[in-house]
Amino acid sequence: MIAFVGSVFSPYYHWAGRRDPDNHVCMNVALYRPSGNRWSMTERGRSAMRRSATSFAVGPSSIRSENGEIVIDFDEVSVPRPPAQLLPRRIRGRIRFSPDAVTSRVFDIDGQGRHRWWPVSPTGRITVEMTRGGEDWSGHGYMDSNWGTEPLENGFTIWNWARGLMPNGDAVILYDAAHRGGGHGRIALRIAPDGTVKEVGMPDKTDLSKGFWGVPRAAHHDGDDFARTRTKIIRTLEDGPFYTRSIVRTRLFGEDIDLMHESLSGDRFASPVVKAMLPFRMPRRR
CB 119 within 8 Å of CB 112:
no
**Dist CA 226 CA 83 (whole Å):** 38
pLDDT in tens, the chain (286 residues): 999 999 999 999 999 999 999 999 999 999 998 878 999 999 999 999 999 999 999 999 999 999 999 999 999 999 988 777 889 999 999 999 999 999 999 999 998 999 999 999 999 999 999 999 888 999 999 999 999 999 999 999 999 999 999 999 999 999 999 999 888 999 999 999 999 999 999 999 999 999 999 999 999 999 999 999 999 999 999 999 999 999 999 999 999 999 999 999 999 999 999 999 999 999 999 7
In this prediction, residue 111 carries a pLDDT of: 87
Q: Give residue 146's domain range.
A: 2-285
Q: Which residues of 183-222 are buried (b: 16+ CB within 10 A; e: fewer)?
A: eebebbbbbbbebebeeeeebebbebeebeeebbbbbbbb
In this prediction, residue 34 carries a pLDDT of: 82
Please tell me the total count of domains within the chain.
1
Phi-psi region of 100 (alpha: psi -120 to 50; beta: other; left: phi over 0): alpha
CB atoms under 10 Å from CB of 55, counted, come to 13
